[in-house]
Amino acid sequence: MKNFILGLALLMFTTIGANAEFLGGFIYNGATTPGGGYTPAVASKQGSATCKNVWYIVTVGDCSVRAAMKNGNIRSLAGYDVHRENILGFQTITVKAWGN
């Protein structure tokens, strides 16, 4: 049983290391990172999309920029940000997009 738990922990940390967008903070992380484009002054609409991740093994939901644009009825993207909140491996990723 001890070897199983150690193997699972090793698998989890190697999976975390392989994630290019991972920001430190396995116990807690509440960071917002820039996406692209920055003209919020001319943007009249805002939309968001959320997905959930468990221990970097299982992810459900659609947190793409395209989904955020659809939820905000945005046709022309002005910019977007990505917010990640991680508590003990349970992560919520929210993409906020703005545009017209």
Name the nearest CA neighbour of 19 among 86, 70, 72, 74: 86
| Residue 24 vs residue 73, higher pLDDT | 73
β-partners of residue 94 are: 50, 83
The residue range of the domain holding 66 is 2-99
CA 99 to chain centre: 20
pTM of this prediction? Answer: 0.68
Residue 10 reports pLDDT greater than 90: no
Pick the more confident residue, 99 or 15: 99
Which segments of 1-99 does DSSP mark as H helices, in order?
Answer: 2-18, 65-71
Tell me what percent of the residues of the chain surpass a pLDDT of 90.
17
Residue type, 39: T
Give the number of domains in the chain: 1
Per-residue pLDDT tens digits for 56-97: 788 899 888 999 999 999 988 888 888 888 888 888 989 999
The pLDDT of residue 67: 92
How far, in Å, CA of 51 to CA of 73, rounded? 19
